[in-house]
Amino acid sequence: MRIVVIRNLPEPAVALLRTAGEVHVCERDRALDPADLRRAVAGADAVVAMLGDRVDAAFADAAGPQLKVVANVAVGYDNVDVPELTGRGVTVTNTPGVLTDATADLAFALVLMATRRLGEGERLIRSGTPWFFHLGFMLGTGLQGKTLGIIGLGGIGQAVARRARAFGMRIAYSGRRRAAAAVEAELDARFLPQDELLRESDVISLHCPLTEQTRHLIDAAALAAMKPSAVLVNTSRGPVVDEAALAAALRAGRIAAAGLDVFEEEPAVHPELLELDNAVLLPHLGSATEETRTAMAELAARNVVGVLTGNGPVTPVAA
């Protein structure tokens, strides 16, 4: 079996893949352009892909009819045309669960950075600008008694809510469906329509998948509905937020701050956001711990091995 790995993986995952076939690793840490990607996957029985790799009909044509599985090293799979691949008999898998805690930690770090102006403070120190302590110096806002509004109370959203409760926050959420009663009870979480959530929340954290319905879910109208003191955090997918509208809202003071780990045209960032002290910007670090990234790669490898050996995938994506 020919197994193509689009970008470098931790060695334990590559070793696992070798138990099922001949592994070809594209030893680079950037997305291939479409032509190079198609050349790389030619003749593959299995492909381990990343978020930046567009897996569509042209990809499948280039790979050939023997392609059996595409393992996406991510929870989201908006880069994969799942109906197209499954229609050709190709199994698509993702890596849920293993990155929940790392991403939740990072999301709550963004909450703290944005509400307490931590990035702004560090830039001040590093710039060498003179400063002195006084009671009005670089005031942020506390979290105790404030409302965290979560859009998408799945595994990561629930993990963020648990962290928020430790800080004394109240939890509200919206989404396509209500969470189980046991989850609502554990988190003391209120289900609200999205328009109410936007109006009531002091911090809004996004944990929804990218679909046609969620693209620009946070647009100018949504931002206008938020409190002027509110903070927006996005660790889901960049296009869920209209970056131009967000930059305008931050510049005008229509909301207080934002923390972003993902971007619309990643790795590019809207240039106006780069100019704003009330925007905290991170380079997609949500799952970036050694333990988590290794676990993601190993889960992707187990999916490939399961399909190629006839035992089936561990975490298949439904068509």
Which residues are annotated as catalytic? Answer: 237, 266, 284
Dist. CA 298–CA 95, nearest whole Å? 9
Tokens of 142: 């506390």
**316 burial type by CB count under 10 A (0-12 exposed, 13-18 middle, 19+ buried):** middle
Strand ranges of the sheet holding 2-5, from the earlier edge strand across to the other edge: 22-25, 2-5, 46-49, 69-72, 91-93
- Side chain identity at 209, as an amino acid letter? P
Among 205, 214, 263, CA closest to 51: 263
Beta bridge pairs of residue 232:
204, 258
Residue carrying structure tokens 């044509």: 61
Dihedrals φ, ψ of 203, to 5°? -130, 135
Q: Under 8 Å CB-to-CB from 272, ≥6 apart: which residues?
A: 244, 247, 248, 251
CA dihedral 76, 78, 82, 83 (to 10 degrees): 140
Q: Under 8 Å CB-to-CB from 173, ≥6 apart: which residues?
A: 149, 150, 151, 152, 153, 157, 161, 179, 189, 190, 191, 192, 197
CB 192 within 8 A of CB 200: yes
Q: Under 8 Å CB-to-CB from 295, ≥6 apart: which residues?
A: 95, 98, 99
Dist. CA 98–CA 30, nearest whole Å? 23
